[in-house]
Homo-oligomer: A and B are copies of this chain.
Amino acid sequence: MPYAGSVLDAVVEPADDEMLLPKVLAALADPHRLATVRFLASHGESWCAQVRQEAGLELSKSTFSHHLRIMREAGLVTKRIQGARGYAQLRKEDVDRRFPGLLDSVLNADNPALI
């Protein structure tokens, strides 16, 4: 399932069998990115600006883009452009196939002081 090239930017989204565990863990190892992953897990595909505003992230657009890039390059998230808007979606099934149980353990973690 090639993701590369689905968006016209320089970010390469790996296929599920090319995801690397250290890279996925590093992409998850940040409170803002965890909040993004949780938002996308509960809301489904979302307009990027909406994620930034509603996930409780106090981030500039460019900083959010930086975080999104790290998540896309690890394989956690895919991005789709429609018109002038970018939409982000958690690749839950792909990550589950590659690293069973990992995302669920992170999503179910009881950790209120994430940010």
Inter-chain CA distance A22–B72, complex, in Å, is: 18
A18 CB to closest chain B CB (Å) equals: 10
In the complex, the answer to whether B30 meets A29 with C-beta atoms within 8 Å is no
Residues of B within 8 Å of A25, CB to CB, are 25-26, 28-29, 106
When all copies of this chain in the complex are counted, the total is: 2
Q: Does A34 have its Cβ within 8 Å of any Cβ on chain B?
A: yes
Q: Does A108 have its Cβ within 8 Å of any Cβ on chain B?
A: yes
A25-B26, A25-B28, A102-B106 are known; give 6 further A-B pairs, CB within 8 A.
A22-B28, A25-B25, A99-B105, A99-B109, A102-B105, A105-B105
Residues of B within 8 Å of A102, CB to CB, are 102, 105-106, 109
